[in-house]
Amino acid sequence: QVQLKESGGGSVQAGESLRLSCEVSGYTVNTYCLAWFRQFPGKEREGIASIAGYGTVTYNAFAKGRFTISQDNAKNSLYLQIDSLKPEDTGMYYCAARKSTGGACGGGISPRAFGYWGQGTQVTVSS
């Protein structure tokens, strides 16, 4: 059973950076696609970025430039670096996993494709 646990959220000022972490357990490296999502109140979750088991990264268009996804397979961890935070980045951030052949992610980052989720970590950015 794959389990994910996010950490690293918090309250920051606009312009600051945060590094979110996701501890992933119960999976075999290179058999799952991992991704980060965020959700604003009253809105559906939106994909930020995904990373395949072999390292290929895909970003949603809005995330290019300020968001960086990475993974450390030795630590079974997934990360999301967010730079130059803006008040509109305020929301709940989730990591997710889906089983796939060779850990491939494909081109999309749809929340409907992911079956394993963490509980989320809150990011609040004040101006």
Residue-wise pLDDT tens digits, 5-60: 999 999 999 999 999 999 999 988 788 999 999 999 999 999 999 998 888 999 99
Q: Which two tokens stand for residue 116?
A: 């394993």
Query: What is the model's pLDDT at position 84?
Result: 97
At 17, which amino acid appears?
S
Query: What is the model's pLDDT at position 1?
Result: 87
- Give φ, ψ of 117 to 5 degrees: -135, 150
Count of residues in the chain: 127
Q: Confidence band (pLDDT; 50, 70, 90) for 108?
A: confident
Residue-wise pLDDT tens digits, 64-79: 999 999 999 888 999 9
